């Protein structure tokens, strides 16, 4: 996020693709990141986005497990809430929770600020967990209030909409997200 702030003409779509490719790699190896957000994405000297912040990553042996370790409890703090999927508030750490966080990270990349910037952490939890539906238009108006960069095309918006659905089973996997990004890049 520091790179984007100091380089307003950065190719955000390229970074989104790099993050999706990294997440696809992790998920294909049965890893869940657990803490995807703009602050855990680094930019190399060749302007490639790379994932970091693996302190909460888990090897998943089943489709749905509950994180009970102390690291999760300590780090499941107010600071992580803007990127957390509804089920994540309940301690469930799954591949779809990473997909939700990816959608929030896309918003962050294009808006320049974190999701729900400045909102009370309890209000974020109530909104995400209690609403059962999280339309992207509501998120885009509530998160930051800033204008979205020109690269935020209708195709990119559609990806965000698909990642921010309450039903985790309805969220796309990263191979599908990469296909959607390829289609955006070809138009």
Per-residue pLDDT at 111: 80
Per-residue pLDDT at 145: 41
How would residue 133 be classed by pLDDT, with cut points 50, 70 and 90? low
User: What gap in Å lies between CA 157 and CA 63, rounded to an integer?
Assistant: 28
pLDDT in tens, 24-59: 999 999 999 999 999 999 999 999 999 998 777 666
Contacts for 67 with CB less than 8 Å, ≥ 6 apart: 34, 56, 58, 91, 92, 93
Percentage above 90 pLDDT, the chain: 43
Asked if 172 and 138 count as a contact pair (C-beta separation under 8 A), the reply is no
Output the pTM of the full model.
0.84
pLDDT in tens, 19-29: 999 999 999 99
Q: Please name the helix (run of DSSP H) or strand (run of DSSP E) that holds residue 15, with its range, or none.
A: helix 12-28
How would residue 77 be classed by pLDDT, with cut points 50, 70 and 90? low
How would residue 63 be classed by pLDDT, with cut points 50, 70 and 90? very low
Q: What is the mean pLDDT of the chain?
A: 81
Q: Report whether CATH 1.10.510.10 matches the domain 2-186.
A: yes
Q: Which of 46, 139, 29, 36 is nearest to 83 (CA)?
A: 36
């Amino acid at each position: 996020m520091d790179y984007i702030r100091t380089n307003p003409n950065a190719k955000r779509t390229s970074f989104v693709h790099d993050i999706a490719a990294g997440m696809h790699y992790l998920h294909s190896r049965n890893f869940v990141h657990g803490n995807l957000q703009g602050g855990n994405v680094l930019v190399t000297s060749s302007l490639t986005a790379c994932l970091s912040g693996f302190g909460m990553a888990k090897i998943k042996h089943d489709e749905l497990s509950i994180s009970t370790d102390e690291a999760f409890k300590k780090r499941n703090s107010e600071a992580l809430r803007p990127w957390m999927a509804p089920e994540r508030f309940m301690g469930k750490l799954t591949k779809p929770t990473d997909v939700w966080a990816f959608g929030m990270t896309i918003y962050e990349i294009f808006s320049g600020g974190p999701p729900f910037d400045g909102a009370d952490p309890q209000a974020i939890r109530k909104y995400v967990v209690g609403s059962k539906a999280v339309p992207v238009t509501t998120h885009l108006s509530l998160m930051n209030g800033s204008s979205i960069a020109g690269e935020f095309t209708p195709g990119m918006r559609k990806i965000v909409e698909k990642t921010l659905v309450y039903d985790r089973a309805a969220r796309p996997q990263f191979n599908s997200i990469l296909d959607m990004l390829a289609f955006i890049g070809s138009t």
